[in-house]
């Protein structure tokens, strides 16, 4: 059994707008990644000998280069910020990721996390929060199952009300208190205040904010 060392992977949320992304492989995985990065504002290029119908349909948004991935050089890879190797050739994927990493680029090999220096997780995102889950290549189905449980059992209306309320509190504290350490102390005090939390749970955000102000002025 192969165990992937996870110690050096730090979870990050990255704004990929306008980043140059190279997808090597025009099949199912390559298409999925290409469309996702395009939707998030990246400049996406796909290199492959053949392209899926979805890629061809989006050729006005995605640059398609018909080329054997075996011919790609380190100089070519260096032109991109992010590289994803999604061919059917495991050894080629590994080789291209090594070349990319040598050029100090972010590279993901979907077939082997050990070759990657970043991971594309299973994730959910809306205008309030984002959640990302990975099993480091062991089981994407398990990641999807965990995410579904979180969405169904944890992300209740109360949670979203709490996010909104604490956003208001954070803005309030920034206006009233200049010392970051003092702000954090009040932030924690308000978050754990039973009266404040009950108002939030009842959807009475105006009352919750008034309670926060009272706690700050104590």
3-state SS record for the chain: CCCCCCCCCCCCCCCCCCCEEEEECCCHHHHHHHHHHHHCCCEEEEEECCCCHHHHHCCCCCEEEECCHHHCCHHHHCCCCEEEECCCCHHHHHHHHHHHHHCCCEEECCCCHHHCCCCCCEEEECCCCEEEECCCCCCHHHHHHHHHHHHHHCCCHHHHHHHHHHHHHHHHHHHHCCCHHHHHHHHHHHHCCHHHHHHHHCCCHHHHHHHHHHHHHC
Q: Is residue 148 a part of any domain in this protein?
A: no
pLDDT of residue 204: 95
Q: Is residue 152 a part of any domain in this protein?
A: no
Same domain? 43 vs 102:
yes
Same domain? 170 vs 114:
no
Question: Which CATH number does the domain housing residue 111 bear?
Answer: 3.40.50.720
Same domain? 15 vs 101:
yes
Contact indicator for 95, 104 with CB cutoff of 8 Å: no
Same domain? 114 vs 172:
no
Q: Is residue 65 a part of any domain in this protein?
A: yes
Q: Is residue 13 a part of any domain in this protein?
A: yes
Q: Is residue 127 a part of any domain in this protein?
A: no
Q: Which domain holds residue 199?
A: 157-217
Can you read off the two tokens belonging to residue 204? 């009475």
Q: Is residue 63 a part of any domain in this protein?
A: yes
Q: 């969405």: which residue's tokens?
A: 151
- Nearest in space to 26 (alpha carbons), one of 48, 4, 5, 58: 48
How far apart (Å, rounded) are the C-alpha atoms in residues 125 and 36?
Answer: 13
pLDDT of residue 8: 82
How far apart (Å, rounded) are the C-alpha atoms in residues 3 and 133?
Answer: 18
pLDDT digits 0-9 by tens, 185-207: 999 999 999 999 999 999 999 99
pLDDT of residue 41: 97
Can you read off the two tokens belonging to residue 20? 């140059």
Torsion of CA 59, 69, 95, 11, to 10 degrees: 0
The distance from CA 175 to its chain's CA centroid, rounded to whole angstroms, is 30
Of 120, 146, 179, the residue at which a domain comes to its end is 120
Same domain? 82 vs 163:
no
Of 120, 137, 167, the residue at which a domain comes to its end is 120
Number of domain units in the chain: 2
pLDDT of residue 6: 66
Same domain? 109 vs 41:
yes
Same domain? 75 vs 180:
no
Same domain? 114 vs 174:
no
pLDDT of residue 2: 46
Measured between alpha carbons, how far apart are the two ends of the chain, in Å? Answer: 58
Q: Is residue 129 a part of any domain in this protein?
A: no
Same domain? 103 vs 170:
no
Same domain? 116 vs 163:
no
Mean pLDDT by runs of 10 across the 218 residues of the chain is 64 95 97 97 98 97 97 97 96 97 96 90 93 91 96 94 96 93 94 97 95 92
Kindly report the pTM of this predicted structure.
0.85
How far apart (Å, rounded) are the C-alpha atoms in residues 196 and 87?
Answer: 53
Q: Is residue 15 a part of any domain in this protein?
A: yes
């Amino acid at each position: 059994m192969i165990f992937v060392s996870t110690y050096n992977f730090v979870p990050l949320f990255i704004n990929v707008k306008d980043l140059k992304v190279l997808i090597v492989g025009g099949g199912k995985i390559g298409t999925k990644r290409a469309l996702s990065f395009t939707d998030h504002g990246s400049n996406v290029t796909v290199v492959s000998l053949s392209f899926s119908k979805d890629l061809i349909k989006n050729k006005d948004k995605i640059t398609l280069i018909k080329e054997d991935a075996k011919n790609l050089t380190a100089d070519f890879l260096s032109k991109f910020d992010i590289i994803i190797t999604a061919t059917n050739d495991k050894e080629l994927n590994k080789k291209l990721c090594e070349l990319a990493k040598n050029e100090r680029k972010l590279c993901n090999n979907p077939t082997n996390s050990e070759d990657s220096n970043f991971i594309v997780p299973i994730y959910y995102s809306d205008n309030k929060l984002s959640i990302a889950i990975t099993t480091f290549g062991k089981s994407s189905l398990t990641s999807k199952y965990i995410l579904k449980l979180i969405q169904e059992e944890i992300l209740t209306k109360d949670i979203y009300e709490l996010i909104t309320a604490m956003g208001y509190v954070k803005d309030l504290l920034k206006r009233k208190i200049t010392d970051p350490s003092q702000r954090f102390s009040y932030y924690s005090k308000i978050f754990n205040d039973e009266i404040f939390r009950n108002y939030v749970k009842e959807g009475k955000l105006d009352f919750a904010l008034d309670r926060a102000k009272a706690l700050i002025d104590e």
